[in-house]
C-alpha cells in the first residue's frame, strides 16, 4: 500500500513523525518513508510493506497528513503503475526533463579514447543543439586483454570538454561502487561542469550490490540496461532495487537480447517492448540501437538498418536514444563496427525527428478515435 502525503508535509513535520509511529504499530506491517523529488517540490510517500490486506484503505486515507492511498497491484511497488495510479513519472536533472513524454538523443563515444575525439564529438553534438551524450570510461569487456577503458584518468578532461561545449548530461557506465566516488571526485575537482547519469550495463543488470549502492544515493540518476539473457520482468525487478533503496530517478534501456535468432544482428532487437515497459512502469524508456544491431549495413532502400531499428523504437514512443558515434570508427578501441560517423549525425537527428513526428501523429489519431 502506498500513502501519498499532503504536499504541505515536509520531512521535518511533526505530523510525519506521528504518522510513522502510528503506522509502525500496525501488526505485521512495516512503514518505509520515501522522498520523491519533483520539479517543483519534494513530496513524501510512505510504503506499507507486509500484511496490508486487512487494512481498510479509507481508514488509512483519513489519517492526518495523508492525501491519497494506492493499493499496490504490481510487483514493482515504487516504479510500477498501480490501479488508479495518478502519480506523475520521470524526473528533472540538470534542467532537463526525463519522463515518458520526452525524447532525448544521447549520441557519443562507446569508449573514450583521445581528448581530440571527445572534443570533436561534443562539438558535433553542440552544432546540432544536443545537450546530452554517452561517454564510456569504464568498459566491461568479454576478453580480459581487450581495452578496458581509461577509467578515472580520463574523467577530468571529459567533464571539462562537456563544460566547454555546453553538454549538460553524460551517460557513463559504472561497473563498481568505487566508480561512483571517482566520478563524484572528478566532478568536484573540475567545478561540476556537467551532470552524469550512471549507466548499469547489461552484464550488471542483476549485480544487486551495485544496484543497492546506486540506489542509496540520489545525486545521480541511473540508466539501467535490460539484462541480455533474462526476462523483462527480471530486469524491471532490478530497476526496482534502485528505487527500493531510495533512488527512483531511473531510466530503463532496451538494448536487444542475446540469441542467435537475432542473426545477423548482434542481438535480437526488442523495441516492441517500449510500450510494454511504459504501461507496466512509470520509467522513461531508452533504446540502444547500436548494441542491438551491432553493425553498419545499408538496407535495399538506402537506409542503415541501425537507423531502421532506431526509428522502430522512436515510433513506438521511446524517450531516449543511446547511440554510438565516433569521429574515426576504424580507429575506435571498442565497437567501431557499429559506430556512426560525425558526418552522419545531422541525418540521424533528422531521421529521429521524422519518427518522433510519426509517433505524435499516431498518438493523436488514436486519441481522436477513442473519443468518437
User: Using CB under 6 A, which of 65, 90, 193, 201 touches ligand PEP?
Assistant: 201
In whole angstroms, what is the distance from residue 230 CA to residue 228 CA? 6
**Residue 110 found at the interface with Mn ion (CB under 5 A):** yes
In whole angstroms, what is the distance from residue 78 CA to residue 179 CA? 26
User: Residue 193 binds which entry of Mn ion, ligand PEP, none, with Cβ cut-offs from 5 to 8 Å by kind?
Assistant: none
Least distance CB 112 / ligand PEP (angstroms): 11
**Residue 136 found at the interface with ligand PEP (CB under 6 A):** yes
**Residue 113 found at the interface with Mn ion (CB under 5 A):** no
Q: Looking at beta carbons only, is 282 or 291 nearer to ligand PEP?
A: 291
**Residue 225 found at the interface with ligand PEP (CB under 6 A):** yes
Counting residues that bind Mn ion (by CB under 5 A) gives 2
User: Residue 113 binds which entry of ligand PEP, Mn ion, none, with Cβ cut-offs from 5 to 8 Å by kind?
Assistant: none
**Residue 335 found at the interface with Mn ion (CB under 5 A):** yes
Q: Looking at beta carbons only, is 110 or 333 nearer to Mn ion?
A: 110
Q: Which stretch binds Mn ion (CB under 5 A): 31-39, 109-117, 194-202, 342-350?
A: 109-117
**Residue 255 found at the interface with ligand PEP (CB under 6 A):** yes
Counting residues that bind ligand PEP (by CB under 6 A) gives 9
β-strand partners of 254: 287
Cis amide bond preceding 172, omega within 30: no
Q: List binders of ligand PEP among 269-328 (CB under 6 A).
A: 288, 291
User: Using CB under 6 A, which of 52, 100, 133, 202 touches ligand PEP?
Assistant: 202
Site map (CB under 6 A) of ligand PEP, residues 78-117, x = contact: --------------------------------x-------
User: Residue 278 binds which entry of ligand PEP, Mn ion, none, with Cβ cut-offs from 5 to 8 Å by kind?
Assistant: none
Least distance CB 45 / ligand PEP (angstroms): 31
Q: List binders of Mn ion among 270-309 (CB under 5 A).
A: none
Least distance CB 195 / Mn ion (angstroms): 22
Q: Looking at beta carbons only, is 270 or 288 nearer to ligand PEP?
A: 288
Residue numbers at the binding site for ligand PEP (CB under 6 A):
110, 136, 173, 201-202, 225, 255, 288, 291
| Interface contacts to Mn ion, rule CB under 5 A | 110, 335
Amino acid at each position: 500500500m502506498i500513502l501519498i502525503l499532503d504536499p504541505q508535509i515536509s520531512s521535518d513535520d511533526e505530523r510525519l513523525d506521528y504518522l510513522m509511529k502510528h503506522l509502525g504499530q500496525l501488526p505485521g506491517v512495516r512503514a518505509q518513508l520515501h522522498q520523491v523529488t519533483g520539479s517543483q517540490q519534494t513530496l513524501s510517500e510512505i510504503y506499507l510493506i507486509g500484511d496490508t490486506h486487512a487494512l481498510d484503505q479509507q481508514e488509512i486515507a483519513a489519517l492526518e497528513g495523508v492525501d491519497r492511498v494506492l493499493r499496490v497491484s504490481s510487483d514493482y511497488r515504487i516504479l510500477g503503475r498501480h490501479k488508479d495510479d495518478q502519480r506523475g513519472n520521470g524526473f528533472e536533472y540538470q534542467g532537463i526533463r526525463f519522463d515518458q513524454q520526452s525524447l532525448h538523443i544521447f549520441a557519443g563515444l562507446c569508449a573514450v579514447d583521445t581528448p581530440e575525439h571527445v572534443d570533436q564529438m561534443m562539438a558535433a553534438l553542440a552544432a546540432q543543439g544536443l545537450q546530452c551524450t554517452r561517454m564510456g570510461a569504464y568498459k566491461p569487456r568479454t576478453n580480459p586483454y581487450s581495452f578496458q577503458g581509461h577509467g578515472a584518468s580520463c574523467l577530468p578532461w571529459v567533464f571539462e570538454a562537456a563544460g566547454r561545449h555546453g553538454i549538460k548530461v553524460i551517460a557513463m557506465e559504472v561497473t563498481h561502487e568505487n566508480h561512483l566516488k571517482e566520478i563524484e571526485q572528478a566532478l568536484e575537482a573540475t567545478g561540476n561542469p556537467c551532470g552524469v547519469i550512471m549507466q548499469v550495463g547489461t552484464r550488471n543488470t542483476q549485480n544487486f550490490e551495485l544496484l543497492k549502492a546506486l540506489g542509496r544515493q540520489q545525486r545521480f540518476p541511473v540508466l539501467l540496461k535490460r539484462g541480455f539473457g533474462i526476462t523483462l520482468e527480471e530486469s524491471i525487478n532490478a530497476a526496482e532495487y534502485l528505487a527500493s533503496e531510495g533512488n527512483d530517478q531511473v531510466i530503463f534501456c532496451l538494448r536487444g537480447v542475446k540469441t542467435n535468432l537475432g542473426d545477423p544482428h548482434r542481438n535480437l532487437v526488442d523495441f516492441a517492448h517500449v510500450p510494454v515497459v511504459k504501461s507496466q512502469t512509470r520509467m522513461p524508456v531508452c533504446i540502444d540501437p547500436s548494441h542491438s544491431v551491432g553493425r553498419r549495413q545499408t538496407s535495399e532502400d538506402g537506409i542503415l538498418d541501425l537507423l531502421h531499428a532506431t526509428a522502430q523504437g522512436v515510433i513506438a514512443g521511446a524517450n531516449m536514444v543511446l547511440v554510438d558515434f565516433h569521429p574515426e570508427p576504424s580507429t575506435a578501441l571498442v565497437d567501431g563496427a557499429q559506430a556512426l560517423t560525425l558526418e552522419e549525425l545531422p541525418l540521424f537527428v533528422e531521421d529521429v525527428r521524422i519518427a518522433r513526428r510519426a509517433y505524435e501523429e499516431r498518438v493523436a489519431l488514436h486519441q481522436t478515435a477513442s473519443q468518437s
